[in-house]
Structures are given as structure tokens and as C-alpha cells.
Amino acid sequence: MSVIPHILITRQEIHEAIDKMAGEIRRDYADKNPLLIGVLKGSFIFMADLVRQIAIPLEVTFTRLSSYGSGTESSGKIKVLARLGETVKDRDVIIVEDIIDTGLTTAYLISYLNKRKPASVRLCSLTDKPSRHKVPVKIDYLGFTVPDKFIVGYGIDWDEKYRYLPDICYVE
């Protein structure tokens, strides 16, 4: 099967959206030294651009959750593969996600984090597919609402491919 990625959101639009989200985070977290937790692997490019625009003192870490494998449907069975231990206790945490689809991964991560007694937890996501949510998710800082298509590029993969594309694309 051959797959052609089509541009959905250009790199220019991505950077404008990041400027806006970063400005909101800068305003909300001045003097709080927030801990940004990126969900690997999809958030790695977004995180790198986001923290440079936030430009206030903050810390960065990453976690990894069990993923789709090579399919395009969430199994709903989630595991935290890179555990966070004591690092979140008493911290103002901001989860940095690439895409919210069913919301199951994020809901699981939020409950995992809350057990570790952070001072606060908020969610920042580059993209969201609201038509696909299976559980309620409150996104505090959002880049783009996207249609129910399979998204790739700007860190987001399809079976490990296309992460390097500079624009957000969809495949059919």
C-alpha cells in the first residue's frame, strides 16, 4: 500500500499556534518553575519548539506510554513505560501531548500523575480530535482541532514513519 501525506496545517501555522500557547503558559506560570512532561515519542519536536517560546524558567522530562503499535486504533490498554517516580511530587505539571484521540491515554496519565501528588496538573496538546473522544478531556492549552483523519508529521508518526515532516499532514 502506498501512502501520500497531504498538508493539513503548515509549519507557519504551527509556529503561530505555539507562540500563542507559549504566551499563555508564560503568563500562567511566571515564577512557578513548571515541570513539562512530554509524552514520547510524538511530542519531541513540539516540546523543543514550545519550551523555547515559553522562555521562563521551567524543567522538562518525558514519559512513554504503551502505544498503538502498527495499528491506527487505540487498544485502550495503557501502560506507563517510562515511570516518573518522585519527580512530580509538589510540582506544577504541564503534560505536553502531540494528539488527543480517544483521550484514554491522557486520562490514564492524569490519574497516574495525581497519585504522585503534584501541586497541579494541566494539559497542553498540539492537536485534538474531539469527534473521537471516548472520555471527557479538558485541554488547557490547545494548538489545533483536527478532523477524524490519521495525522502525521511534526513528530507524529504512522508506524514510525513521517515524524520528520515539518508540517502536520494527514494520510488516507
For the annotated catalytic residues, the residue numbers are 101
Distance CA 163, CA 45 (A): 9
DSSP the chain: -----EEEE-HHHHHHHHHHHHHHHHHHHTTT--EEEEEETTTHHHHHHHHHHH-SS-EEEEEEB---TTSSS--S---BSS--GGGGTT-EEEEEEEEESSSHHHHHHHHHHHTT--SEEEEEEEEE-GGG-SS----SEEEEE--SSEEEBTTB-BTTBSTT-SSEEEE-
**One symbol per residue from 4 to 33: x for binding ligand IMP (CB under 6 A), - otherwise; what is it?**
------------------------------
- Find the residue with minimal CB distance to Mg ion: 42
Q: Is 42 in the site for ligand IMP (CB under 6 A)?
A: yes
Q: 38 is in the binding site of which of ligand IMP, Mg ion, none (Cβ under 5 to 8 A by kind)?
A: none
What part of residues 101-160 is at the interface with ligand IMP (CB under 6 A)?
Answer: 101-106, 150-151, 156
What part of residues 16-55 is at the interface with Mg ion (CB under 5 A)?
Answer: 39, 42
Candidates 28-36, 97-105, 117-125, 162-170: pick the segment binding Mg ion (CB under 5 A): 97-105
Q: Is 68 in the site for ligand IMP (CB under 6 A)?
A: yes
* Nearest CA among 138, 136, 81, 149 for reference residue 104: 136
Total residues in contact with ligand IMP, by rule CB under 6 A: 18
Residue 9 or residue 39: which is nearer to Mg ion going by CB?
39
Candidates 21-29, 50-58, 97-105, 115-123: pick the segment binding ligand IMP (CB under 6 A): 97-105
Q: Is 99 in the site for ligand IMP (CB under 6 A)?
A: yes
In order of 18, 52, 57, the CA distances from 128 in angstroms are 14, 22, 27
Positions touching Mg ion (CB under 5 A) are: 39, 42, 98
Q: Which residues bind ligand IMP (CB under 6 A)?
A: 39, 42, 67-68, 74, 97-106, 150-151, 156
